[in-house]
Amino acid sequence: MLHILFLFSLLFFSSHASVQDFCVANLKGPDTPAGFTCKSPAKVTVNDFVFSGLGIAGNTTNIIKAAVTPAFVGQFPGLNGLGISAARLDLAPAGVVPMHTHPGASELLFVLHGKILAGFISSANDVYVKKLKKGDIMVFPQGLLHFQVNAGGSTAIAVVSFSSANPGLQIVDFALFANNLPSPLVEKTTFLDDAEVKKLKAVLGGTG
Amino acid sequence: MLHILFLFSLLFFSSHASVQDFCVANLKGPDTPAGFTCKSPAKVTVNDFVFSGLGIAGNTTNIIKAAVTPAFVGQFPGLNGLGISAARLDLAPAGVVPMHTHPGASELLFVLHGKILAGFISSANDVYVKKLKKGDIMVFPQGLLHFQVNAGGSTAIAVVSFSSANPGLQIVDFALFANNLPSPLVEKTTFLDDAEVKKLKAVLGGTG
Amino acid sequence: MLHILFLFSLLFFSSHASVQDFCVANLKGPDTPAGFTCKSPAKVTVNDFVFSGLGIAGNTTNIIKAAVTPAFVGQFPGLNGLGISAARLDLAPAGVVPMHTHPGASELLFVLHGKILAGFISSANDVYVKKLKKGDIMVFPQGLLHFQVNAGGSTAIAVVSFSSANPGLQIVDFALFANNLPSPLVEKTTFLDDAEVKKLKAVLGGTG
Amino acid sequence: MLHILFLFSLLFFSSHASVQDFCVANLKGPDTPAGFTCKSPAKVTVNDFVFSGLGIAGNTTNIIKAAVTPAFVGQFPGLNGLGISAARLDLAPAGVVPMHTHPGASELLFVLHGKILAGFISSANDVYVKKLKKGDIMVFPQGLLHFQVNAGGSTAIAVVSFSSANPGLQIVDFALFANNLPSPLVEKTTFLDDAEVKKLKAVLGGTG
Amino acid sequence: MLHILFLFSLLFFSSHASVQDFCVANLKGPDTPAGFTCKSPAKVTVNDFVFSGLGIAGNTTNIIKAAVTPAFVGQFPGLNGLGISAARLDLAPAGVVPMHTHPGASELLFVLHGKILAGFISSANDVYVKKLKKGDIMVFPQGLLHFQVNAGGSTAIAVVSFSSANPGLQIVDFALFANNLPSPLVEKTTFLDDAEVKKLKAVLGGTG
Amino acid sequence: MLHILFLFSLLFFSSHASVQDFCVANLKGPDTPAGFTCKSPAKVTVNDFVFSGLGIAGNTTNIIKAAVTPAFVGQFPGLNGLGISAARLDLAPAGVVPMHTHPGASELLFVLHGKILAGFISSANDVYVKKLKKGDIMVFPQGLLHFQVNAGGSTAIAVVSFSSANPGLQIVDFALFANNLPSPLVEKTTFLDDAEVKKLKAVLGGTG
Which residues does B10 contact at the CB level (< 8 Å), separation at least 6? none
- Whole-angstrom distance, CA of residue A161 vs CA of residue C162: 9
Q: Which of A104, A166, A170 sits opposite F18 (nearest CB)?
A: A166
- The per-residue pLDDT for E34 is 96
In this predicted model, what pLDDT tens digit does every residue of D145-201 receive, in sequence order?
999 999 999 999 999 999 999 999 999 999 999 999 999 999 999 999 999 999 999
- The per-residue pLDDT for C4 is 45
- Asked if D21 contacts E142 with a C-beta cutoff of 8 angstroms, the reply is yes
Q: Which residues of A touch B123 (CB under 8 A)?
A: 103, 168-170
Query: In this model, does residue D101 exceed pLDDT 70?
Result: yes
- The per-residue pLDDT for E12 is 47
Asked whether this complex has an ipTM greater than 0.90, the answer is yes
Q: Is there a contact between C163 and A133 if contact means CB atoms under 8 Å apart? A: no
Query: In this model, does residue B10 exceed pLDDT 80?
Result: no
Q: Which residues of A touch C120 (CB under 8 A)?
A: 49
Does residue F55 fall inside a structural domain?
Answer: no
**pLDDT category of residue B208 using cuts at 50, 70 and 90:** confident
CB neighbour burial string for B158-197, b if at least 16 within 10 angstroms, e if fewer: bbbbbbbbbbbbbbbbbbbbbbebbbebbbbbbbbbeebb
A101: domain CATH number is 2.60.120.10
In terms of Cβ atoms closer than 10 Å to its own Cβ (0-12, 13-18, 19+), residue F201 is: buried
Nearest Cα neighbor of B81 from B16, B168, B164, B169 is: B164
Q: Is there a contact between B185 and A142 if contact means CB atoms under 8 Å apart? A: no
**pLDDT category of residue D206 using cuts at 50, 70 and 90:** very high
**pLDDT category of residue C15 using cuts at 50, 70 and 90:** very low
Query: In this model, does residue C5 exceed pLDDT 80?
Result: no
Q: Which residues of B touch F130 (CB under 8 A)?
A: 46-47, 49-50
Nearest Cα neighbor of D36 from B104, C25, B20 is: B20
Query: In this model, does residue C79 exceed pLDDT 70?
Result: yes
Does residue F81 fall inside a structural domain?
Answer: yes
Q: Is there a contact between C78 and A139 if contact means CB atoms under 8 Å apart? A: yes
Does residue D181 fall inside a structural domain?
Answer: yes
- Whole-angstrom distance, CA of residue E183 vs CA of residue E177: 8
For residue F53, how many other CB atoms are within 10 A of its CB? 17
Q: How far is B174 from chain C (nearest CA, A)?
A: 9
Domain co-membership, F162 together with F189: no
Of A1-15, A55-69, B143-157, C142-156, give the lowest mean pLDDT range: A1-15
Q: Which residues of C touch E175 (CB under 8 A)?
A: 121, 125, 145
How many domains in chain B? 3
Q: Which helix (H) or strand (E) holds B85?
A: strand B85-91
Please list the pLDDT of chain F residue by residue as tens digits (208 residues).
444 454 444 444 444 444 479 999 999 999 999 999 999 999 999 999 999 999 999 999 999 999 999 999 999 999 999 999 999 999 999 999 999 999 989 999 999 999 999 999 999 999 999 999 999 999 999 999 999 999 999 999 999 999 999 999 999 999 999 999 999 999 999 999 999 999 999 999 999 8
In this predicted model, what pLDDT tens digit does every residue of B89-103 receive, in sequence order?
999 999 999 999 999
What's the gap between Cα F142 and its chain centre?
12
Q: How far is E81 from chain D (nearest CA, A)?
A: 9
Q: Which residue of A has its CA nearest to C45?
A: A128
Domain co-membership, B154 together with B190: no
- The per-residue pLDDT for A20 is 72
- Contact of D69 with chain C, judged by CB distance below 8 Å, is answered with no
> Pairing state of beta strands E170-171 and E96-101?
antiparallel
Q: Mean pLDDT over all residues of chain C? A: 92
- Contact of E19 with chain F, judged by CB distance below 8 Å, is answered with yes
Domain co-membership, A155 together with A107: yes
- Contact of C9 with chain E, judged by CB distance below 8 Å, is answered with no
Q: Which residues of F touch A62 (CB under 8 A)?
A: 4-5, 7-8
φ, ψ of residue D163 to 5 degrees: the values are -85, 30
**pLDDT category of residue C208 using cuts at 50, 70 and 90:** confident
At D155, is the secondary structure helix, strand, or coil? coil
- Asked if E47 contacts E69 with a C-beta cutoff of 8 angstroms, the reply is no
Domain co-membership, A61 together with A130: yes
Q: Which residue of F has its CA nearest to A65?
A: F8
- Whole-angstrom distance, CA of residue B102 vs CA of residue B147: 11
Q: pTM for this structure?
A: 0.95
Task: Give me the amino acid identity at E24.
Answer: V
**pLDDT category of residue C91 using cuts at 50, 70 and 90:** very high
Q: Mean pLDDT over all residues of chain B? A: 92
CB neighbour burial string for F123-150, b if at least 16 within 10 angstroms, e if fewer: bbbbbbbbebbbbbbbbbbbbbbbbbbb
Q: Which residues of C touch D84 (CB under 8 A)?
A: none
Q: Is there a contact between A179 and B121 if contact means CB atoms under 8 Å apart? A: yes
Domain co-membership, E85 together with E143: yes
Domain co-membership, F115 together with F198: no
Does residue A122 fall inside a structural domain?
Answer: yes
Report, as an integer, the average pLDDT of B187-193.
97
- Asked if F129 contacts D181 with a C-beta cutoff of 8 angstroms, the reply is yes
Report, as an integer, the average pLDDT of D3-14.
45
- Asked if D23 contacts D35 with a C-beta cutoff of 8 angstroms, the reply is yes
Q: Which helix (H) or strand (E) holds F11?
A: helix F2-13
- Asked if D138 contacts E50 with a C-beta cutoff of 8 angstroms, the reply is yes
Q: Is there a contact between B22 and F55 if contact means CB atoms under 8 Å apart? A: no
Domain co-membership, C62 together with C133: yes
- Contact of B86 with chain F, judged by CB distance below 8 Å, is answered with yes
Q: Which residues of E touch F166 (CB under 8 A)?
A: 18-20
Angle, nearest 10°, between helix axes A183-190 and A194-204?
120
Q: Which of E21, E55, E161 sits opposite D84 (nearest CB)?
A: E161
Domain co-membership, F150 together with F69: yes
In this predicted model, what pLDDT tens digit does every residue of A83-120 receive, in sequence order?
999 999 999 999 999 999 999 899 999 999 999 999 99
Nearest Cα neighbor of B126 from E108, F195, A168 is: A168
Q: Which residues of C touch E122 (CB under 8 A)?
A: 170
Name the residue range of residue D63's domain: 58-167
- Contact of E22 with chain A, judged by CB distance below 8 Å, is answered with no
- Contact of F52 with chain D, judged by CB distance below 8 Å, is answered with no
Does residue F121 fall inside a structural domain?
Answer: yes
Domain co-membership, C159 together with C187: no
φ, ψ of residue A194 to 5 degrees: the values are -60, -40
Does residue E139 fall inside a structural domain?
Answer: yes
Q: Which residues of B touch C17 (CB under 8 A)?
A: 27, 74
- DSSP state at residue A39: P
Question: Chain E neighbours among F 110-149 (CB < 8 Å)?
Answer: none
Does residue A45 fall inside a structural domain?
Answer: no
For residue D202, how many other CB atoms are within 10 A of its CB? 13
Nearest Cα neighbor of E105 from E32, E172, E170, E58 is: E170
Domain co-membership, C61 together with C152: yes
Interface test with B, best of F13, F15, F18, F21 (most B CBs within 10 A): F21
User: In this prediction, what percent of chain B has a pLDDT beyond 70?
Assistant: 91
Q: Is there a contact between A81 and E33 if contact means CB atoms under 8 Å apart? A: yes
Q: Which of D2, D18, D34 sits opposite C27 (nearest CB)?
A: D18
- Asked if C132 contacts C82 with a C-beta cutoff of 8 angstroms, the reply is no
Domain co-membership, F125 together with F185: no
Q: What is the CA radius of gyration of chain A?
A: 22
In this predicted model, what pLDDT tens digit does every residue of A137-169 receive, in sequence order?
999 999 999 999 999 999 999 999 999 999 999
- Whole-angstrom distance, CA of residue B52 vs CA of residue B71: 9
Q: Which residue of D has its CA nearest to F166?
A: D123
Q: Is there a contact between A192 and B196 if contact means CB atoms under 8 Å apart? A: yes
The set of chains that have 3 or more CB pairs under 8 A with D is: B, C, E, F
**pLDDT category of residue B60 using cuts at 50, 70 and 90:** very high
Convert B109-121 into a string of H (helix), E (strand) and C (coil).
EEEEECCEEEEEE
- The per-residue pLDDT for F104 is 87
**pLDDT category of residue D7 using cuts at 50, 70 and 90:** very low
Domain co-membership, E70 together with E155: yes
- For C127-155, the DSSP string reads EEEEEE-TT-EEEE-TT--EEEEE-SSS-
Which residues are A140's β-sheet partners?
A: A107
- Contact of C174 with chain A, judged by CB distance below 8 Å, is answered with no
- DSSP state at residue D52: -
- The per-residue pLDDT for F20 is 73
Does residue F5 fall inside a structural domain?
Answer: no
- Asked if E208 contacts E183 with a C-beta cutoff of 8 angstroms, the reply is yes
Q: How far is E160 from chain D (nearest CA, A)?
A: 9
User: In this prediction, what percent of chain E has a pLDDT beyond 90?
Assistant: 89
Q: How far is B1 from chain D (nearest CA, A)?
A: 7
Q: Mean pLDDT over all residues of chain A? A: 92
C-alpha distances (whole Å) from F132 to each of B53, B55, E161, F158 are 13, 11, 44, 10
The set of chains that have 3 or more CB pairs under 8 A with C is: A, B, D, E
In terms of Cβ atoms closer than 10 Å to its own Cβ (0-12, 13-18, 19+), residue C5 is: middle
Report, as an integer, the average pLDDT of C73-85.
97
- Whole-angstrom distance, CA of residue A104 vs CA of residue C151: 36
Q: Which of A83, A137, A140 sits opposite C163 (nearest CB)?
A: A83
Q: Which of A82, A129, A135 sits opposite C139 (nearest CB)?
A: A82
> Pairing state of beta strands C35-36 and B116-121?
unpaired
- Asked if D107 contacts D158 with a C-beta cutoff of 8 angstroms, the reply is no
For residue D19, how many other CB atoms are within 10 A of its CB? 23
Nearest Cα neighbor of E142 from E107, E166, E99 is: E107
Q: Which residues of B touch C166 (CB under 8 A)?
A: none
